[in-house]
Structure 1
């Protein structure tokens, strides 16, 4: 019987953990490149290739209390998947732990937001504010719209936008910064993010937000994207209030290994920023 993969070979028990990771192998509403359901284990595999110590924050990942509970059941129905994600996140949050979800396509985020609520920051190339797409209201292309119905449009910020439909621009979307704006000068974004400091913020990272030169293995790639180094600035601004994290839209079938490696590293750095914020408050 094969030994289940665990992120960064984590060996912490659930009871003693502070961070609980789980995968959601779901890609049933994919509209371009399939295979997002294979991402959770590929991210875990990539984590074995990195040092556990963060130079940015001086934190050792292996001492941070990570428990990897494996993957949720594989579903083909969106509602069943969302109910499962809600149940898992509810258990994690109710136990006072921090949830880290490995998608899967971006629609998985809605299940977590149904439980966590608060403000939401998306990294994304697309606004995802359609009411429905290809006849599906729970499509990955509608996730921000569905989230807004829970937390309110005013509590959502998307970063890295460079693809939007006429329908979305006509009917209105969430507040967003384009990748062009951020790549030229991130100061306005960082000033805006100050409004998100010291309040609960859920961070949802759709990897097509990053430029395909850094993250080629995604479901709907868009040129002229973000340099992933911007995530360090974003984490620094919201670290004291991050309430949950997900990483979505990675499709290993189109990856050269760089996208899943980037995902593993972002998880490491996100935890290191959160841990350092806790240490500062002691």
Structure 2
């Protein structure tokens, strides 16, 4: 079952969607291996037409390449995933990853080599390691700092003491949930945009591995996606699982579509 409306052939597509169902380091509620399936399924109710941009999703050149099935060795999996995303980039197509745990963003960032990593996330994910693992959903933002010049975390509301100390460095900007409505995308260069669905308040998206109250509204996430999409070289939505009635998956699928509509309309922005 492909993502609804992602009907273009790979040879003619402008965007390539790839599922990355990695689920090896989730520390509370596993199930992100079902994220790509859930996002695809719950996107079936969405209308094709977007009134804001005056476009149809089916006309925007999206191809669904299926999933890169995961295995236990996260480092090896991320290397393979990076290679697949690099192939997408080399074909002059924009990658759209659907996780899977947040660790998959490291592969997307390494492949696209952006200037800035912009992440909607409840957690800082700036740990050097978590439970002895340097490739964990709790370390992914720290790993992206090996590639990018700057990290912007929007909606973060929790982290260890060491993470908050690392966040005080000049290459990291943290925007708390209450300030996200007024945030403007002022950064140099291009961005990779990652949506960890737990950035949303769990009242809106309970189907995620590590829920954190006092989060963002769906409209708040949508505003950021619309604002950043025109300057993005890659996108992912991660940490959706199957532990709700589709709320998290529906939100993730809708934000992916919002990204495509906004990126495709960038010439008019």
Cα distance between partner residues in 2 of 1:56 and 1:164:
37
| Structure 1 match to 2:246 | 257
Q: Secondary structure at the match of 2:11?
A: coil
* 2:190 is the alignment partner of 1:200: yes
Contact kept? 1:194, 1:237, Cα under 8 Å: no
Contact kept? 1:24, 1:108, Cα under 8 Å: yes
| Structure 2 match to 1:163 | 158
* 2:212 maps to which of 216, 219, 222: 222
* 2:255 maps to which of 254, 266, 271: 266
* 2:224 maps to which of 234, 246, 269: 234
| Structure 2 match to 1:121 | 118
Write out the 4+ residue segments of structure 1 that deviate beyond 4 Å after TM superposition. none
For structure 2, the 5+ residue unaligned runs are none
Q: How far 1:45 sits from its partner (Å)?
A: 0.8
Q: How far 1:15 sits from its partner (Å)?
A: 0.4
Deviations 1:29-79 (A, max 9, x none): 110000101110111111111111112222210111111010003211111
* 2:131 is the alignment partner of 1:134: yes
Contact kept? 2:226, 2:258, Cα under 8 Å: no
TM-score by length of 1: 0.90
Q: Which has the higher helix share?
A: 1
Output the aligned Cα RMSD: 1.4
* 2:119 is the alignment partner of 1:108: no
Cα distance between partner residues in 1 of 2:226 and 2:167:
29
Q: Secondary structure at the match of 1:75?
A: coil
Cα distance between partner residues in 1 of 2:222 and 2:163:
29
